Amino acid sequence: MDGIHLRPGRPLLAASARPWAGALLACCAILVAGLGVPFADQARADRFDHVVDSPIITWFGGHQGLVVWLAAPGSPIPAGVLSAAIVVACLLTGRLNGAVLAAAAVPAAAGLNDGLLKPLVHRTYLGVLTYPSGHTATMFALAATITVLLVMPSRPAGAGAVRVLIPAAAYVLGGVVAIAVIGLRWHYFTDTVAGAAVAIGTVCGLALLLDLPAARRWLAWASRQPPAAREHRGHAARAGTGASR
């Protein structure tokens, strides 16, 4: 693409943040497993879920149109559009590693969530597999991706408020979607907690993988301009020089 110069980009995570990302990944895995074991094959809310879910379901009982609209951002099409927007923003700024992260985060979280964990745990709500919440995982994967791209790299101070407010807004939206799917009786509260943990852990794992030396070497190779394009530019530059003489 003319005018867009891709480069591997600086590491997604500052060196000081990588141990924290690894610890957060481990905590998310422990949380998902720790909740999944007692909830395996469960078909009704436990006492804690009932206490949290009941007032939400009651309040949204007369606002079904609103709650469906609030849950919509976690659906595949809106989430795909948001992911694509982040990918385009990364490409326009030349951050190839950020584009790869943004492209992979939601599919990876959804695949882990729906392809592995839901069938494995087999927790149901009105006959449908629910653990963890896919809508919640989708939104928190987007929020965690934005956090990695805007907050985690080491960079000079400046525009700090914007870099914090955008991820904060994304997490708020994720929380709204989580509440909405509870109100729709699609998920229990603990399903949404596990969905957020799956998403955050997935994004941490992807960021750590993309920061490995081997991955950065591959991105450096992929970001190099193809030889044919370089030759074409060289011919164009020489032709322009000859015309000016």
Q: Which two tokens stand for residue 117?
A: 């964990």
Length of the chain (residues): 245
Calculate Rg over the CA atoms of the chain: 22
Vertex 124 angle, CA 119 and 127, to 5°: 110
* Domain-wise residue ranges, the chain: 20-223
Which pLDDT belongs to residue 4? 52
Mean pLDDT of 105-128: 96
pLDDT beyond 50 at 236 = no
Q: Which residues pair with 124 in a beta bridge?
A: 129
Note the pLDDT of residue 7. Answer: 61
pLDDT at 112 (0 to 100): 96
- Supply the DSSP string of 42-72, one letter for each residue: --S--HHHHHHHHHHHHHHTT-HHHHHHHHG
Within 8 A by CB and 6+ apart from 195, the residues are: 113, 132, 133, 134, 135, 136, 137, 140, 178, 187
Q: 24 near 200, Cβ under 8 Å?
A: yes
How crowded is residue 49: how many other Cβ atoms within 10 Å of its Cβ?
Answer: 20
Q: Which residue has the higher pLDDT, 61 or 82?
A: 82
Calculate the average pLDDT of the chain.
Answer: 87
Return the pLDDT at 22.
97
